[in-house]
Amino acid sequence: MKLKLFLSSILVCLLSACGAEDESEPTFLEGSWLEQDCYDTNDALTEYGQSTFQYSGNKVTIYNHVYSTNDCSGDPILEARFDGSIALGEDKILSSGDTVTQYTITVNTATQTALTQAKADALSSDENCGINDWEKDVVKSVYECKFGSEPNVLKEIAKVDGDDLYRGDYESKDSTGYSTALDLNNPFSKQ
């Protein structure tokens, strides 16, 4: 009887993770956030990008969509996808008076997908990431090409104001690698 009770206790503990914190708890970043800016992605000014960050608990997926139109309208020609996890850090008060939350993103996977045949042909011709056989709608892993073999950890700051997410300005970093100002010119809108 004692053995049965002991084994039952172990099973209950394993199924409940022995009181471990639920990593899927929503954070203040929860949801999908679309970048309002449409930016140039190449020197020829023929391709333009827009990012979406999707947060769910401690998971994040970042989509960078590339368009042939300067307002990022229509169908994208390329999708870059980065999957990873986040870890929330401390709240900090910036010199502007804004309170932000420091956090890290650890990127685990990076892929690219050509969404048109013309883009697949261009990527193959350029041997993008050393790959010369790009095909339309075929996902290719580009992690090592983009980040090497080590985990890629991004240090971020963020503030949510209503339906706008403000991220760090990459021009200003402190000695620990976190931004010291928010990019107020490029908010992300809650979707």
Per-residue pLDDT of the chain (191 residues; tens, 9 = 90+): 433 333 333 333 333 344 444 456 999 999 999 999 999 998 888 999 999 999 999 999 999 999 999 999 999 999 999 999 999 999 999 999 999 999 999 999 999 999 999 999 999 999 999 999 999 999 999 999 988 888 899 999 999 999 999 999 989 999 999 999 999 999 999 99
Q: How far apart are CA 34 and CA 55, in angstroms?
A: 12
Answer whether 36's CB lies under 8 Å from 187's CB: yes
**Residue 12: inside a domain, yes or no?**
no
Residue among 106, 104, 108, 105 at smallest CA distance from 144: 108
**Residue 7: inside a domain, yes or no?**
no
Q: How many domains does the chain have?
A: 1
Count CA atoms within 13 Å of residue 33 on its CB side.
24
* pLDDT in the model for residue 54: 98
Q: How far apart are CA 26 and CA 43, in angstroms?
A: 39
* pLDDT in the model for residue 45: 82
Structure tokens at 178: 């976190």
Q: How far apart are CA 89 and CA 3, in angstroms?
A: 43
Q: How far apart are CA 144 and CA 21, in angstroms?
A: 32
Please give the residue range of the domain that contains residue 159: 24-190
pTM of the entire predicted model: 0.84
Structure tokens at 78: 């390329």
**Residue 125: inside a domain, yes or no?**
yes
SS3 category, 54:
strand
**Residue 185: inside a domain, yes or no?**
yes
Which residues, other chains included, contact 56 with Cβ-Cβ below 8 Å and sequence gap of 6+?
24, 26, 30
Q: How far apart are CA 143 and CA 110, in angstroms?
A: 5
Answer whether 50's CB lies under 8 Å from 80's CB: no
**Residue 36: inside a domain, yes or no?**
yes
* pLDDT in the model for residue 44: 81
* pLDDT in the model for residue 6: 33
